[in-house]
């Protein structure tokens, strides 16, 4: 099974947005793909009479055309908008580390490709003893970095790329993503281009795509996605993940 792991330079940089866009693109091309988010925190505000929901899970569920149950996409959810282990403690629970792994293994033989979305950034904790990096190394898929276009983007992106490469994983590419409407479109575009040039200069990555802010979000995605073959960007696990005799803990 092919896979792609999506991480970010921070939280709220557009990881779910792009994971969903990639999934839709792959589905439209006829590929059999699924989505996996090992753990999610930060439920959408709802009335006491309503069951809690998580916007990330809903976006991924809809991108897969709704054919997979939400519990398969994300088997562990917590309500507080905090790091998962912290949110879990507020509910007198803990993140089940075996389920983090088992939830991904449950996708074996269901699909030909899997898009995995991490939590926060590369070093963000996903349990009491594991970070996103630990889980991604265990999974062994190439990593796509979503970077927020802002002051400091060059440093944050280069640090994230370096950390991924140091862990022994392949960086699939970087998407430099404008997450809000800039005050001056002309200045913002120049900053976006110059940031991209500096990131390219100081890193070795297969591609760097630019995503300008656009209220027509689907159009913005389509324009960037058109130049990238996401199926070829995905690859089998470096750790032979789905071989039953080679499964190791995340640590």
Q: Which two tokens stand for residue 53?
A: 């929901």
Model confidence at 7: pLDDT above 80: yes
118 assigned binding-site residue: yes
**Separation of alpha carbons 121 and 159, rounded Å:** 11
15 assigned binding-site residue: yes
Name the pLDDT band for 246 (thresholds 50, 70, 90).
very low
Query: Which CATH entry fits the domain spanning 2-246: 3.40.50.2300, 3.60.10.10, 3.90.1010.10, 3.40.50.300?
Result: 3.40.50.300
Q: Which two tokens stand for residue 247?
A: 């499964």
Q: Where are the beta strands (DSSP E) in 73-121?
A: 77-78, 113-121
Inter-residue contact 5 to 12 (CB < 8 Å): no
Indicate the helix (H) or strand (E) that contains 133. helix 132-139
214 assigned binding-site residue: yes
Q: Indicate which residue of 37, 123, 137, 189 is catalytic.
A: 37
112 assigned binding-site residue: no
Mean pLDDT of 128-134: 97
Active site residue 201: no
Provide the Cα torsion 213, 219, 221, 227; round to 10°: -120
Q: Which two tokens stand for residue 107?
A: 């996708």
Question: Residue holding tokens 């990881």?
Answer: 15
pLDDT at 238: 86
Mean pLDDT of 211-237: 77
pLDDT in tens, 31-63: 999 999 999 999 887 555 577 889 999 999 999
Inter-residue contact 8 to 177 (CB < 8 Å): no
pLDDT at 185: 73
53 forms beta bridges with 44
Q: Which two tokens stand for residue 15?
A: 């990881």
Mean pLDDT of 138-167: 96
Where exactly are the structural domains of the chain? 2-246
Overall residue count recorded for the chain in this entry: 251
Model confidence, pTM: 0.92
Mean pLDDT of all residues belonging to the chain: 90
């Amino acid at each position: 099974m092919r896979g792609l792991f999506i991480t970010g330079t921070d939280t709220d940089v557009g990881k779910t947005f792009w994971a969903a866009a990639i999934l839709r693109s792959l589905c439209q091309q006829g590929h059999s793909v699924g989505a996996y988010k090992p753990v999610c925190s930060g439920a959408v505000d709802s009335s006491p009479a309503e069951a809690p929901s998580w916007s990330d899970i809903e976006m991924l569920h809809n991108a897969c055309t709704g054919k997979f149950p939400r519990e398969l996409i994300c088997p562990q959810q917590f309500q507080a908008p905090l790091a998962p282990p912290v949110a879990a403690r507020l509910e007198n629970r803990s993140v089940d580390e075996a389920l983090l792994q088992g939830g991904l293994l449950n996708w074996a033989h269901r699909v030909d490709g899997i898009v995995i979305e991490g939590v926060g950034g590369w070093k963000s904790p996903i349990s009491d003893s594991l970070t996103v990096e630990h889980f991604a190394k265990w999974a062994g898929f190439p990593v796509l970095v979503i970077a927020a276009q802002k002051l400091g983007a060059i440093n944050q992106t280069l640090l994230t790329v370096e950390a991924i490469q140091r862990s022994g994983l392949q960086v699939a590419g970087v998407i430099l993503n404008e997450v809000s409407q800039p005050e001056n479109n002309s200045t913002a575009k120049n900053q976006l281009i110059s940031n991209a040039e500096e990131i390219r200069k100081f890193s070795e990555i297969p591609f760097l795509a630019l995503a300008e802010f656009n209220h027509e979000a689907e159009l913005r995605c389509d324009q960037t996605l058109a130049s990238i073959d996401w199926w070829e960007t995905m690859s089998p696990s470096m750790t032979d993940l789905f071989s039953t005799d080679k499964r190791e803990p995340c640590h």
